[in-house]
Chain A
Amino acid sequence: MTNAMTQTVARKSFDSPYDLEAPPGAEGWKELYPYNLVFQENLRDKENAKFWFCDSQHWPNVFKPFETVGVEFAVRCLGAFNTRHYIIPPANGIEFRIHNGFCYMSPVAVAPELIGDRVPHFMERAGYYFANWDSLLENWKKKVLGTIEEMDAINFEALPEMVDLEVITSGAGIDPSAKMMADYDRLIQLAYQNWEYHFEFLNLGYVAYLDFFGFCKESFPGIPDLAIARMVQGVDSVLFRPDDELKGLAELAVKLNLAEIFAVHEGAEQRLAAIAASDGGAEWLAAWEKAQEPWFNYTSGNGFYGSDVYWRDNLDLPIGYIKDYVARAARGDVLRRPTDDLIAERDRIVGEYSDFLSGDALATFQGKLGLARTVYPYVEDHNFYIEHWTMGVFWRKVRQLSALFHSYGFWENTDDMLYLTRDEVRPVIFDLATGWGVGADPIGPTYWPAEIERRRGIVAALATARPEPAFNTPPETINEPFTIMLWGITTEQVQQWLAGDDQENPGLKGMAASPGVVEGFARVITGPEQLGELQQGEILVAPVTAPSWGPVFGKITATVTDIGGMMSHAAIVCREYGLPAVTGTGSASTKIKTGMRLRVDGSQGIVTILE
């Protein structure tokens, strides 16, 4: 890596991935990932001709081999809907690679001479979806829930000593190992299916948003992106329902005089037992049970990592959040998000901009805003159905299978299957089925523990280095609106990365993602497991946040992230909670240290380190 800080003239290109050494101890890392996901030596020239940016927004941590399933399914399906379903005229999909354990992306443009031919197809196809949005979306929900239900029914169980008598008497003639193999394939296939559905509406949601966005930019040149986002955005997304459920449970606990239990007892088990033994406990427990399906299919991660913990799998999490809410409710704090204020402010903003327009322009403004508001809820809501619910069930089944192999001695830790790629799992199932069928030992227990140890070392070594923000030469201007809107990657941002650290300026610039100005002390959080360290009134500084960090947003006063645009999760959640946010700063989580005093100006996108 060349040292950008010592250079006086801003460089024009980022390093090539081919010139970038892996951290010590990570040698051989490429073999951990599928061949098509790494930069292949024989494609050096071709790959170096493309500009790649790091998507640490969705994949902030090093992939364990199994975990590439998320990026593979998600980004492939994203591309397919642009390229093969709706024929979005100027945009194909996004190529993706893994380098030194992190994810890099490169959007694929459509050659200018081909764009015109795509237009009629786009109009026919996208037009159909816009015209039939509500009924298609209703069907979408059925399809997605059907997938989840089927996935949930999958069970990986130990193979029996002998097949059930029923196999004999029914003349089935097949043993349960066949079902285990089919179930594994089905699990992968079902996850793939819901990732297809994920993008069925999402890209079109962004297209309608961009249409309104473009009109606003023409009507009011220079209008802040934030103003447009606030006009479109709802305040009652399904995505915030899990957190709202916890708040409701906290308020109910206070009302039923159960607050004390949360203060004196530890953990979920103790507290639930104490509640069960209290007057009013039954009423609270009924509400608690009712809230769990589906709302506890919710993770403080982002759904892309096997280590993501889902509330329903670890009740200490929601109970812990409820404990904090109970304490605040008992102090008289208002727990609910300021939805009335947000709606009033949204109406004011829409009203004032409308007043500047008249005639056709006003009618167009209202029409486009109306469509954007129709399609936009999907942009937020889908996250609960796919990233949280679907992936929650998916990872639970993956962990169940991993634990099963662990019980057969295939690996040392219950979750070690994550160190295998998903395609390495099939031979493992066959290995087990063979040993079981033959009546001999499977080979895996003598092979995998050492191999997994080796891989664990490589993944740990990769995690010691932060990813480079980008590779190769950026385009002169970045005008691909999806890249700007979703990743916050602008021409200016890329130039800032190229310039390296500005020693004289004790601050950071990013997206003005949620308005307001606050001063306070920083708490740098690099993963959900650290969320418990946050103290009341601190400013959350993180490489990236997940919307599911909702319960801590009542504690903090502002958010600063390294990556993310106006429509990134941190931006959305901060606007919904009425907190200032600056996103896409590039390096806040490394430049800022816990305890530094900051001034966060979410209206101007500026973070100043005060001391």
Chain B
Amino acid sequence: MSIYTFPFDSSETPEHERLGGKCTSLAIMTSAGAPVPPGFAITTDAFDAVMNQTTLREHIARVLDGLDHDDVAEVDTRAAHIRELILTQAVPDDVRDDTIAAYDALMTVCGGEVPVAVRSSATAEDLPDASFAGQQDTYLWITGQQNVLQRVRECWASLYTARAITYRAANGISDEGLSMAVAVQKMVNSRTSGVAMTIDPKNGDRSKIVIDSSWGLGELVVSGEVTPDNFLIDKVLLHVIDRIISDKHEELVPTGHGTVARREVEAERRNSPSLSDEELIAVARLAKSAEKHYGSVQDVEWAIDADLPPGQNVLLLQSRPETVWSQKETPVNYTSGGSGIEAITRSLLAQMGTRT
């Protein structure tokens, strides 16, 4: 196994200092059974190899030597120079080869070349704040080896923005040991998407999972333009109790270039279930494990990825606590409550449809 890459579904323990925060979290979620989109980390070892096995580290040190951190224009100029160095530095062969191998493996899982997201994954307080790196260095819908490699370098280079350099200087953080991991993750290609609630909102019954599901991305369902399929599932046995298949006349689908296309659903598909029974149970299982993990009723956004093989194609997009129904007191008005022969009699009569 390469020290330069780390697949999110690796059986090894993810180490934060090698994977950074984002990749560690993705790897932990994957191993906990929360099916995030597949991908891999390019570890800090890769960055370190680039820095240490080439002249890059000395080169950067020279550029930063004697920098006046209060001179904003000068900081900007030198930061741009360093980023240019990182973007043009030849990468050691083993780092390059291992990255390509991990990328190819990911594409194989996806059944061919599909777009990915490339994101920086910072390890520590090297950057002003965690979200800074994450927001700044996210490259979506990236296709092809060369483009991915280019974006990886851009993530590395983000360690040397003017703001980052100033921040480290102000906080006395040395460039010694400064490193960066990068996440490469499949872009979700929603064939079907929806939400799963781990409660029945009709009556507050916590033994149910309610799933709404429609073709493509979920926006048309949210905006009320398409009525989703609706499924009621027993949470304990994971059996389908009720299903309503709706006319789903339109869908939104990703184009692969970062845009979304709206299109008519062809006749034979619009009234067909947007989830197979196996997928339905997989979605329910996902919602149930999210509820268990977070210890409260959950509202889970999920998608079926068109590129991934059955068994791996149900993806967790987001899970948040459900607050409307789970807070509500919805006491059952029992006719069969209590115990003893009185209760038995009442319950027997109620079931025969003859209440006294």
| Residue A603 interfacial (CB < 8 Å) | yes
Minimum CB–CB distance for B78 against chain A, Å = 60
- Interface with B: A94-102, A118-126, A397-405, which one? A118-126
- Kindly supply a per-residue 1/0 record for chain A positions 333-358, scoring 1 wherever the CB is within 8 Å of any chain B CB and 0 otherwise: 00000000000000011001100100
Q: Contact: A126 with B344, CB < 8 Å?
A: yes
Residue of B with least CB distance to A206 = B348
Q: Which residues of A contact B351 (CB under 8 A)?
A: 210, 213-214, 479, 481
| Residue A364 interfacial (CB < 8 Å) | yes
We find that the number of chain B residues with CB closer than 8 angstroms to chain A is: 39
Q: Which residues of B contact A220 (CB under 8 A)?
A: 205, 207-208, 234
With the chains together, A214 CA to B234 CA distance in Å?
Answer: 17
Q: Contact: B356 with A115, CB < 8 Å?
A: yes
Q: Contact: B236 with A352, CB < 8 Å?
A: yes
Q: Contact: B339 with A604, CB < 8 Å?
A: no
- Kindly supply a per-residue 1/0 record for chain B positions 203-245, scoring 1 wherever the CB is within 8 Å of any chain A CB and 0 otherwise: 1011110000000000000000000000010111111111000
Q: Contact: B341 with A127, CB < 8 Å?
A: yes
Given A207-B348, A218-B336, residue A349 in contact with residue B237 (CB < 8 A): yes
Q: Which residues of B contact A348 (CB under 8 A)?
A: 236
Residue of A with least CB distance to B199 = A356
Q: Which residues of A contact B336 (CB under 8 A)?
A: 211, 214-215, 218, 368
Q: Which residues of B contact A226 (CB under 8 A)?
A: 237, 239
Interface residues of A in 580-611 (CB under 8 A from B): 601, 603-604
With the chains together, A220 CA to B334 CA distance in Å?
Answer: 11
Minimum CB–CB distance for A336 against chain B, Å = 25
Q: Contact: A219 with B332, CB < 8 Å?
A: yes
- Kindly supply a per-residue 1/0 record for chain B positions 163-206, scoring 1 wherever the CB is within 8 Å of any chain A CB and 0 otherwise: 00000000000000000000000000000000000001001011
Residue of A with least CB distance to B335 = A218
Q: Which residues of B contact A207 (CB under 8 A)?
A: 344, 348
Residue of B with least CB distance to A481 = B351
Minimum CB–CB distance for A562 against chain B, Å = 23
Q: Which residues of B contact A208 (CB under 8 A)?
A: 344
| Residue B350 interfacial (CB < 8 Å) | yes
> CB within 8 A of B339: which of A88, A368, A515?
A368
Q: Which residues of B contact A211 (CB under 8 A)?
A: 336, 343-344, 347-348
Minimum CB–CB distance for A169 against chain B, Å = 60
Residue of A with least CB distance to B352 = A90
With the chains together, A224 CA to B349 CA distance in Å?
Answer: 21
> CB within 8 A of B236: which of A89, A119, A349?
A349
Q: Which residues of B contact A481 (CB under 8 A)?
A: 351-352
| Residue B338 interfacial (CB < 8 Å) | yes
Given A222-B232, A352-B235, residue A479 in contact with residue B348 (CB < 8 A): no
Q: Contact: B332 with A603, CB < 8 Å?
A: no
Given A227-B234, A481-B351, residue A222 in contact with residue B241 (CB < 8 A): yes
* Range class of the A interface residue count: 35 or more
- Kindly supply a per-residue 1/0 record for chain B positions 314-344, scoring 1 wherever the CB is within 8 Å of any chain A CB and 0 otherwise: 0000000000000000001011111111111
| Residue A39 interfacial (CB < 8 Å) | no
| Residue B354 interfacial (CB < 8 Å) | yes
- Kindly supply a per-residue 1/0 record for chain A positions 198-235, scoring 1 wherever the CB is within 8 Å of any chain B CB and 0 otherwise: 00000000011011011100111111101100000000
With the chains together, A222 CA to B238 CA distance in Å?
Answer: 12
Q: Contact: B237 with A119, CB < 8 Å?
A: no
Interface residues of A in 527-566 (CB under 8 A from B): none
With the chains together, A208 CA to B344 CA distance in Å?
Answer: 7
Given A88-B348, A210-B347, A211-B336, residue A222 in contact with residue B234 (CB < 8 A): yes
Q: Contact: A90 with B234, CB < 8 Å?
A: no
With the chains together, A187 CA to B344 CA distance in Å?
Answer: 38
With the chains together, A259 CA to B137 CA distance in Å?
Answer: 71
Minimum CB–CB distance for A118 against chain B, Å = 10
With the chains together, A222 CA to B235 CA distance in Å?
Answer: 11
| Residue A361 interfacial (CB < 8 Å) | yes
| Residue A436 interfacial (CB < 8 Å) | no
Q: Contact: B339 with A89, CB < 8 Å?
A: no
Residue of A with least CB distance to B240 = A604
Q: Which residues of A contact B203 (CB under 8 A)?
A: 221
Q: Which residues of A contact B108 (CB under 8 A)?
A: none
With the chains together, A222 CA to B353 CA distance in Å?
Answer: 17
Q: Which residues of B contact A364 (CB under 8 A)?
A: 334, 337-339, 343
Interface residues of A in 227-277 (CB under 8 A from B): 227
Residue of A with least CB distance to B242 = A222
Q: Which residues of B contact A222 (CB under 8 A)?
A: 208, 232, 234, 241-242
A-B contact pairs, 7 of them (CB 8 A): A90-B348, A127-B341, A214-B335, A215-B336, A218-B334, A222-B208, A227-B236
8 tightest A-B contacts by CB? A127-B341, A367-B339, A90-B352, A220-B207, A214-B347, A356-B206, A215-B336, A222-B241
For the A-B complex with A207-B348, A479-B352 known, give 15 more contacts whose Cβ atoms are closer than 8 Å. Answer: A89-B349, A116-B356, A127-B340, A208-B344, A210-B351, A211-B343, A211-B344, A214-B348, A214-B350, A220-B205, A220-B207, A226-B239, A361-B334, A364-B343, A601-B277
